Amino acid sequence: MKFKHTSVLLHETIDNLKPRNGGLYVDATFGGGGHAKYLLSKIDTGTLVGFDQDEYAIKSAELNFANLLQPGSEPKLELVHDNFSNLEKDLVKLGYSDGIDGIYYDLGVSSPQFDQADRGFSYRYDARLDMRMDQSQDLDAYQLVNTLSQKELADILYQYGDEKFSRQIARMIVERRREKPIATTFELVDVIKDAIPAYARRTGGHPAKKSFQALRVAVNHELDVLQASLEEAIKILRPGGRISVITFQSHEDKIVKKIFKKYSEVEVPRGMPFIPDDMKPTLRLVNRKPIVASASELENNNRSHSAKLRVAEKL
CA–CA separation, 315 and 24 (whole Å): 17
Rounded Cα–Cα distance for residues 236 and 279 (Å)? 19
- Residue 219: the pLDDT is 98
Nearest to 123 by CA among 137, 141, 135, 105: 141
Q: Which of 152, 108, 153, 158 is nearest to 133 (CA)?
A: 108
Q: Helix 150-161 to helix 209-219 angle, to the nearest 10 degrees? A: 100
Q: What pLDDT does 300 receive?
A: 92
Q: What is the DSSP-derived secondary structure letter of residue 277? A: G
Q: Dihedral of the CA atoms 5, 11, 16, 20 (nearest 10)? A: 90
- Residue ranges of the chain that CATH labels 3.40.50.150: 10-111+222-314
- For the packed helices 150-161 and 166-179, what is the interaxial angle rounded to 10 degrees? 140
HSE of 246, CA atoms in CB hemisphere, 13 A: 29
φ, ψ of residue 88 to 5 degrees: the values are -65, -45
Angle, nearest 10°, between helix axes 185-195 and 166-179? Answer: 130
Contact 20, 101 (CB under 8 A): yes
Low-confidence ranges of the chain (pLDDT < 70): 1-5, 268-278
Compute the distance between CA of residue 261 and CA of residue 238 in angstroms, rounded to an integer.
19
Cβ 75 vs Cβ 46: under 8 Å: yes
End-to-end CA distance of the chain, in Å? Answer: 41
Find, among 253, 138, 122, the residue nearest to 188 by Cα: 122
- Boundaries of CATH 1.10.150.170 in the chain? 135-219
- Would you say 22 and 51 are in contact if contact means Cβ atoms under 8 Å apart? no
CA–CA dist 126, 189 (Å, integer): 10
3-state class (DSSP) for residue 265: coil
- Does the domain at 135-219 match CATH 3.30.390.50? Answer given as no
Tell whether domain 10-111+222-314 is in CATH 3.40.50.150: yes
